[in-house]
Every structure is written in structure tokens, then in C-alpha cells.
Structure 1
Amino acid sequence: MSVEGTTERVLRLLALLQRRSSWTATELAEQLRVTDRSVRRDVERLRALGYPVHATPGAGGGYRLGAGTRLPPLLLDDEEAIATAVSLRLASAGTVAGAGEAALRALAKLDQVMPPRLRAEVRAVHGATDTLVGPGVQIDAELLVTLARACRDAVRVRFRYAARDGAERERTAEPVRLVTTGRRWYLMAWDVDREDWRTFRLDRMREPAATGWHFRPREHPDPVGYVQRSVAESPYRHVARLRVHATPERVRDMVPPQVGRVEPDPADGWCTLHLAADHLDWLAVYVARLERFDVQILEPPELREAVGALARRLTAMARP
């Protein structure tokens, strides 16, 4: 076989190893239409290029792609290359500290080796897209990596955590999932000391460390829904409940998930909105944003007074 044919086959082998966690030699030989001996030779070629291909002997053994001492070249198909380039562009304006510069460097490298036809598609997407950057809180990338690994490996983490009153205490948790609202990052985890599920803001964490203690994952609530409820309700002095004559989708378009939680209502055409804040005036502003719909304030009664006071102030502002 020619050098070009061998190179193409090696690249196909790499793509297969990246697609699945483990392959037997027979399976790879069937996919590549070669002998087991050719598979072994191609595996050695990948190892020479820096790809850590691990082999497990025996009847249940096979080949798998592991982590190496250095980062070898990645093999991306057309869709993966476009998705990666677009994601790097978005990450360059994200909320992870230091990620913006790193994302731009990676994007420059990818653009340099990308075929012209793909580069044109990526640039078309970039040219038609602007990113509206909000006042997000930047998170250290190392903190994200530590927590993500702990979630993946089911390992307990220990960290210093600042409560709302500023007091800092050591916490031990069994992490489940990282959730971002766009402005902030949260960790949903089982609090070992309190024996309950908790939500932790990453910008309040310090000195995170994996303990090496593996835990058996337990059944847990939906992470996104749990974090949304925690962020939108539990930490605040006032929790409001409203009925809105609109579909849940229309209300969600107007109320960010970190601000309110929307539920369907048994009555046709209505939904229930839960809002929370430390000040009633702030809740009144969000009620005013729903002025195009019929709204019933169920609780607390004090919110009705705050909405009335806001209406009077707005009326005074509208006078010549």
C-alpha cells in the first residue's frame, strides 16, 4: 500500500479510537478492512506520533485511547471543526478567567490549518454573529477543571465557602453537576455535613481540592431545575407567586432563569411565576415588565402595595 493509503488508514484508525472508549483488534480490522497485524502496526504508528494507545491483552481486551504526557494533534471532521471554531469564538467573551485569551490562541491555530472551504463557513458564521457580554462573574479555570473532574470521577471535594453573611467555613461535598446561568457558575452537590442537596456559587469558593474519597452516586434531582429553584427562591427575604395569563414559554422569554421559575397552571392559558428578591421594589419592577399580560399577585400581599407605589412613581415621571 502507498504512503498516502497508509496515512489515510492511520487517520481512520484514530477517528475510530476517538469515537468509542474501547475496541477489539478484530473490530478495528473489520472497520478498516485489514488484518489484525496491520492494526497492530498502525497502532504503533499512532504511538510514535504521540497518541497514547493502550492495549489490554486477553479475551476481553482491546485498544483504547488514553491521556498522554503531551497533547497530540486532534482529528476533527467537518462538523466538529466548525462547531469547535464557533465555540472558541463564544468562549473568547465568556466568564472563565483567562479563557478568552486562550480561546483566541486556539482559534488562531485552528484557523491556520483549516481547509479553505471550512474556513469560509466559519467566517460566515462569525461575520453574522455578535456577542452581547453581560456583567458576569469570572471564574478561575483551574477551579472549573477541579470540580468537573470530581463530578466525572465521583470524588468528594473540600473547599472554603463564603456564606451570604460573609462568614467562611469549610465544606465537604459530593459533586454532581456544574450549572451556568450565563452570569454565574453553580455546583449542585450533596453536602456531606448537612446530609442534603445544596447549590454552591463558584465565585464564593476558595482552595478547592479533591479528597481522593470516591463515593457511590446517589439519585438526585434534575441539576438544572434544582439550581434554578435555589437561585430564584431560597436565598432571598421575599418570595412571590403570581398567575400570568400567558404560556410558560412567553413568560420565560421575559424572565431569566436565575430570576424566576415558571410552571404550567391547571387553568388553560395561564402559568404560575415564582420570583424572589431581598427587596419588594425589585419584585415590583419585574411585575411591571409583565404589563402586557393579565397578572394576579397571589402572595405576598405586600407586593400589591409595592406595585401600586411603583405605578404612582411612574405616573409622576410621565407628567410634563
Structure 2
Amino acid sequence: MARAGHNRTDVLSADFEKHDRTLRLMRELVLFQAIPHGLTSREVAERMGISQRQAQRDIKALEAELEVPFQQIGARWKVLEGYWLGPVSFSVHEAMAMLLSARLMLRFADRYNGFATAAYEKVASVLPAPMKGPVMEAVDMMAGRPADNGYMKVLASLTAAWAERRKVVVTYTTEDTFERVLWPLFLEPNATGHSCYLLAWDPKRQAVRSYKLERISNVRLLEERFDPPLGFSVDRHLAHAWGIWTSQQPVDVILRFDQSVSRRVRETVWHPSQRLEELPDGGVRVRLLVAEPTEIRHWILGWGRTCVVEAPESLRDAIAEEAAAMARSYSSGAVAQPPAGPARDGLVSPQPGRRVG
């Protein structure tokens, strides 16, 4: 069970690790990296403050769930050479880029990702003190996210398959649950829904498809290797995607923003295809070439009345219909009133001037 509000010295609290299996496994992985000649299960147990039997189970879990390649030499376990990447050096300016990526990861991640926290801990260990603190704060907050062992196992297996170009069999659920042989080509994060997608060649459909990791319940690595489809490029594949959806026939989307937000619109490159046109009234017209306009609907609605869809007509109608439905919801007067009292089901009423949520 992941718990927030923990304190940190140089490592995560031992008590916190004991109560979170995923955190413990990641700490053990870092331990094996620090001792290349390997460890016995008794040594792992002593360093982690767990029983030797638990240490033996953890080593098996690292091997089976996180695809860590172990070699057993007598009673000693060591990670095979080649699993760890070579050392990397950063300049201060390059380290700043890593700090920013840690903050972005913190905003993106809605669950604990042991690989990410371990990576940022390593980055923080070589940073100047003023930069180290914010990275470790981000690591602490990421460590407090809810753990999802199933998701971590899927992520680890797909990462290994992608790196080794091995075919996989995944169990995938949408309306139905099915198995599919796939060739992993890339893992793409998507801020919408705080999700991650596998881009993979689907031999059955003879096309590259996207698969949401949260909908994959099992991954089985095959010994058979693959070569990526000739000419495949992640950038070209996602060139017109607003998020993750792709299409062979992208759609021209034209939006008009009024003067009150035009400066904010100009400040950001929202999509690689965007073209801006200044309007006489101080507003700005934005032209986009988007694979699937459905993906952009929530972003448009987020601008409220300051953004109007000029094209395509189908998107304009969809936004207008949604806005009308929202207006009806707000004008109905049917607002649920919370029970009276300072605390309800463990929730404390907000204090004046204090932001809640």
C-alpha cells in the first residue's frame, strides 16, 4: 500500500519499503546494481531487513516479473552483464533538462513507477545541491503514488521485448478480451488520461496499432525476433495525432480565438502543423491538420467561449451540442447539497482562501 507524507534522508524509509512490494523490488534491483559481483539471498535479506525466504521470493519476482536476467553462481545471484547501461555524464545545463523532465513525469504519473524513481534518484545523486532538492522532492511524490504491480510487470515485459526486438503475445481487453501476437515498436506516453500506449505491428491487421498499457493484463515474450516494418518512423506515424490516434486522412481544423486569450495562444506551439493568422479584432485564427478531431474536443471545450470552431462542420456541431448540453445542466437548478457539518466521510470543509483538490 503506497503512503504519502513520508520523510526522506538519502534513501526511502525502510518501513515504507517493507509495506510496498514494488518499492522493495526496485530497491533490491538498485542493490544488485551497486554490487556487480552479486549477493546471496541471506545478504539481500540482511540489507533489506526482510527474511531470507522473502528475499528468495523477491529474486524470483525480479526475474519473472521485471525480466531481470540473473545468473546463479553457487549461493550468489548476480545480474548478467549487458543488463545495465553504461555510465552517462551530464553538464549542469543537461542536468537542468533532466530536472524539468522529472517535474513533467511527476505531473504525468498517476501510479508508482519504480523505474522512473530509480532513474531520477541516480540523476539526483550527481546534481549540485540546489538542483538535487527539487528532483528528490519529485521522486518522493512519485514514490507516494499508488502501486500497481500488474502494470509494472506489463511495462517491464514490453520494455524488454522492445529493446530485444522480441515478439510478444498480449492479453488485451476492450469490450472483449483477446490474445494477439504483436511486434513492440515504441512506448508513447499520453497526457490525456495519464496513460501510456504501446505502438506495435499487428501481423493480423497488417498495420501499426496502438494499445493502451492499462488494458493489457498479460505479456508473454516469445523467442522469435522481428525487424521493424520497412520505413516505420514514430514521428511520421504520430505526425498528425493530437494525442495518440492516427489516420491516413488527417482533417483540417480551423479555430478562432478572441483577443482575451490570443497572447496565450501565440505563446505555445500546440501542434507541429499549426499555422497562425492575426485577426483585425486582435484575435487569432489557428489552423491545424489533425488525424482525429475527436481527440481535440476536450482541449477546445477547455477554452470556453473564447474559442470557436470554424471547421470542420462536424466538429463545430459536436462542440455546439456539448455546450448546449452543459448549459442545460447548469440551468436545471438540480444541484446536490452536501450534508451539513464540518466533516463528512473524512473530508474536511475547505477553509477560506485555501485551495482544495
The residue type equivalent to 2:186 in the other structure is R
Per the alignment, residue 161 of structure 1 pairs with 172
Query: What's the secondary structure of 2:306's corresponding residue?
Result: coil
State how far apart, in whole Å, the 2-side matches of 1:293 and 1:102 are: 37
Residue 309 (structure 1) aligned with residue 292 (structure 2): no
* Pairwise CA distance, 1:270: 3.5
Change (3 A) 1:94 1:101: farther
* Pairwise CA distance, 1:298: 2.1
Residue 118 (structure 1) aligned with residue 133 (structure 2): no
Equivalent residue in structure 2 for 1:276, among 272, 282, 294: 294
Change (3 A) 1:148 1:244: same
State how far apart, in whole Å, the 2-side matches of 1:136 and 1:254 are: 33
CA RMSD of aligned residues (A): 5.5
Residue 177 (structure 1) aligned with residue 186 (structure 2): yes
Per the alignment, residue 141 of structure 1 pairs with 152
Query: What's the secondary structure of 1:291's corresponding residue?
Result: helix
Change (3 A) 1:306 1:148: same
State how far apart, in whole Å, the 2-side matches of 1:131 and 1:161 are: 30
* Pairwise CA distance, 1:299: 2.4
Query: What's the secondary structure of 1:228's corresponding residue?
Result: coil
Per the alignment, residue 209 of structure 1 pairs with 220
Equivalent residue in structure 2 for 1:225, among 223, 232, 238: 238
* Pairwise CA distance, 1:191: 0.3
* Pairwise CA distance, 1:174: 1.0
Change (3 A) 1:203 1:136: farther
Change (3 A) 1:170 1:271: same
For 1:1-320, what aligned pairs fall within 5 Å after superposition?
50=36, 69-70=78-79, 77=89, 79=91, 86=99, 95=109, 98-99=112-113, 103=117, 107=121, 114=125, 118-123=128-133, 140-163=151-174, 165=175, 167-182=176-191, 183-218=194-229, 219-222=231-234, 225=238, 228=241, 231-232=244-245, 242-245=253-256, 250=265, 263-264=273-274, 270-272=286-288, 274=290, 275-276=293-294, 283=297, 286-287=300-301, 289=303, 291-293=305-307, 295-300=309-314, 302-303=317-318, 305-306=320-321, 309=324, 313=328
Query: What's the secondary structure of 2:232's corresponding residue?
Result: coil
Query: What's the secondary structure of 2:129's corresponding residue?
Result: helix
Query: What's the secondary structure of 2:204's corresponding residue?
Result: coil
Identity rate of aligned residues, in percent? 15
| Post-superposition CA distance 1:177-214 (Å, at most 9, x none) | 00001300101111011111111011111220111111
Query: What's the secondary structure of 1:150's corresponding residue?
Result: helix
The residue type equivalent to 2:324 in the other structure is A
State how far apart, in whole Å, the 1-side matches of 2:218 and 2:330 are: 51
Q: Is the 8 A contact 1:245 1:293 kept in 2?
A: yes
Q: Is the 8 A contact 2:300 2:307 kept in 1?
A: no
The residue type equivalent to 1:196 in the other structure is A
Change (3 A) 1:267 1:206: same
State how far apart, in whole Å, the 2-side matches of 1:160 and 1:151 are: 17
Consecutive unaligned residues of structure 1, counting only runs of 5 or more, are 1-48, 53-65, 256-260
Consecutive unaligned residues of structure 2, counting only runs of 5 or more, are 1-34, 39-68, 72-77, 279-284, 333-357
The residue type equivalent to 1:228 in the other structure is A
* Pairwise CA distance, 1:99: 2.6
* Pairwise CA distance, 1:311: 8.1
Query: What's the secondary structure of 2:131's corresponding residue?
Result: helix
Per the alignment, residue 30 of structure 1 pairs with none
Change (3 A) 1:194 1:104: closer
State how far apart, in whole Å, the 1-side matches of 2:328 and 2:267 are: 27
The residue type equivalent to 2:238 in the other structure is G
The 10-residue stretch of structure 1 (93-102 or 185-194) with the greater mean CA deviation from structure 2: 93-102
Q: Is the 8 A contact 1:188 1:197 kept in 2?
A: yes
Change (3 A) 1:67 1:181: same
* Pairwise CA distance, 1:118: 2.4
| Post-superposition CA distance 1:35-85 (Å, at most 9, x none) | xxxxxxxxxxxxxx8479xxxxxxxxxxxxx99824999866464995798
Q: Which has the larger radius of gyration?
A: 1
State how far apart, in whole Å, the 2-side matches of 1:220 and 1:132 are: 33
How many residues end up aligned between the 2 structures? 236
The residue type equivalent to 1:276 in the other structure is T
